[in-house]
A and B are shown apart, each in its own frame.
Chain A
């Protein structure tokens, strides 16, 4: 056993060395920080980290805080619509652009450019366009449609959809680029074969091409999920969590408590909860994707 392991390591020694930087970063930067923040969630830390132990007090406070519960609920709604719309829209854009259209690079750039803007800009500009006193509603009233109402950013019931709109605008281009990169890697032979067999195009996409793009699809879903869980800037720029607490999100709760409210204990408890949630949601994905068929080569 030991000898075999040595032989395995020897044969792949360079690969081990190549992965060393990653190992260092994972162990020290990521695992270290995560462990540290989980540790602090059991302390009474306020502005600066403290090393005492208060049990699960911070967690009890956390789940007794209405704003935290609102934030979690909002995140679920945003995540569902954002993932769904971004993914469907991005994939459709990629497929349509891949139809040998004229001005392909123009379309690609148009759909991708929002991603070049920071989330802050995305939030600010949509806040402006959707602002009833300045944007679309104002313009429609000016044109004589006085009954026109588009008050999403100031309406507690609709404000989440305003944020979804801005983030979809920002993020679907990336999905498009990823799927397009995948489509460009698909062997052209497949198209010739399916044409000869007379299979309709949409069926080829749905049952042959998209399954082949599975790795790219997983990548885009993971990237979108990361941006949802971390969603902060866009909310601050667009609504700052308002009206009231109608558009609060967990990352903003963590951020506010970390700095403005000088409550590191509560903030790290919140981030631990997020971490565990992500772990529970991602574990099946990570497992099926990276462990079941790990390592394809010798």
Chain B
């Protein structure tokens, strides 16, 4: 927190020491709770099925084995095709990249236009958009299928990317709109007086201030799009089926003994992309980007 930052090297008071201990205790205990499922997933994925059948899910593997991981990646079966998750990985990336870029860009533009410009009826549109985000996806599927069939893009990459843009729009717009409405308006006014136009202000003033919220937006969209199963299954077409469809096939096998170790390995493998994005995004999450931009 700020006070620690502004504090000089004077020794901490007794009260402050206990305060620090309390902070770390709180974060530490909660961290354990948050990590518990990941721990179970990881230890299970390194066990053999025989060991899993003994049913001690919290114990460490007696014999450490990466067979389940290899199987999940290269040879787990989806019906008759035993190719593991690796085929879907490329498809998921192909879907993810354009969907994330376009949906965030549109969200930022919408949010910017909504919070800094006067556009008649825009707030009504936004309210409708927000309301629409509460409708379950499933209700949209049939009309969208009909629409795509008529435009001839059903079952293609364009269809699935467009679908993700449509369904990402409410949340992305909301995110940027609310973030921008917390930013000081004086800068915008000054730029207007200097004669800067819509895009000029957006690119040179607003975008540089958007980093913290853009990170949240990336996190949300990467997660939502990468983890989507239903839309990919319906709209992407057989050639572009995302990784989650295969994960679903591996995990939700309707009969037979569940290979928990393979399931867990497959689950962790499927989550690696969002996890990596989170890890990398952290470095931009530092204090003062917004205020720095304001001052600089």
Contact = CB atoms under 8 A, between A and B. Distances in A.
* Chains A and B share a contact (CB less than 8 Å): yes
Interface of A: 5, 8-9, 12, 14-16, 18-19, 21-23, 25-26, 29-34, 36-37, 49, 89, 92-93, 95-101, 105, 107-122, 124-126, 128-129, 133-135, 138-139, 142, 169, 173-174, 177-178, 180-182, 184-188, 191-192, 195, 201, 212-216, 218-219, 222-223, 225-226, 229-230, 232, 251, 254-255, 258-259, 267-268, 271, 274-275, 278-279, 282, 286, 290-291, 294-298
Contacts of A185: 179, 182-183, 212, 289-291
Contacts of B199: 14
Interface residues of B, number: 106
B18 interface: no
Listed from nearest, the 3 A-B pairs whose CB atoms lie closest are A30-B132, A191-B2, A116-B274
Given A114-B34, A184-B289, A279 B129 contact: no
A297 B130 contact: no
Nearest to B36: A129
Contacts of A98: 1
A126 B37 CA distance: 7
Interface string B243-264: 0100010010000000000010
Nearest to B282: A105
B216 interface: yes
Contacts of A267: 139
A298 B113 contact: no
B3 A201 contact: yes
B93 interface: no
Interface string B161-205: 000011001110111001101110100110010000111000000
Interface in B15-45: 23-24, 26-27, 30-31, 33-38, 40-41
Contacts of B48: none
A110 B34 contact: yes
16 contacts: A12-B118, A14-B198, A18-B112, A22-B129, A26-B129, A31-B128, A93-B30, A110-B34, A115-B219, A119-B227, A124-B267, A191-B3, A216-B179, A275-B134, A278-B131, A291-B127
Interface in B189-237: 189, 192, 197-199, 212-213, 215-216, 219-220, 223, 227, 229
A222 B173 CA distance: 12
A274 B139 CA distance: 12
Given A116-B278, A215-B179, 7 more contacts: A18-B113, A22-B110, A101-B23, A117-B271, A119-B227, A181-B285, A184-B288
A89 to B, nearest CB: 8
B138 interface: yes
A212 to B, nearest CB: 7
A297 B278 contact: no
B134 A278 contact: yes
Contacts of A297: 116-118, 185, 188-189, 192
Given A22-B106, A185-B290, A118 B136 contact: no
A60 B28 CA distance: 52
Contacts of A5: 120
Interface string B264-296: 000100010011011100110111111100000
B245 to A, nearest CB: 12
A251 B40 contact: no
A258 B139 contact: yes
Contacts of A255: 136, 138
B112 to A, nearest CB: 8
Contacts of A286: 127, 130-131
Contact of A93 (B27, B110, B169): B27
B119 interface: yes
A213 B212 CA distance: 14
A18 B198 contact: yes
A129 to B, nearest CB: 6
Contacts of A118: 227, 229, 244, 271
A172 B41 CA distance: 20
Contacts of A101: 23-24, 27
Contact of B181 (A22, A36, A223, A296): A296
B240 interface: no
Contact of B55 (A111, A125, A133, A192): A133
A36 B170 CA distance: 19
Nearest to A97: B27
Contacts of A230: 134, 136-137
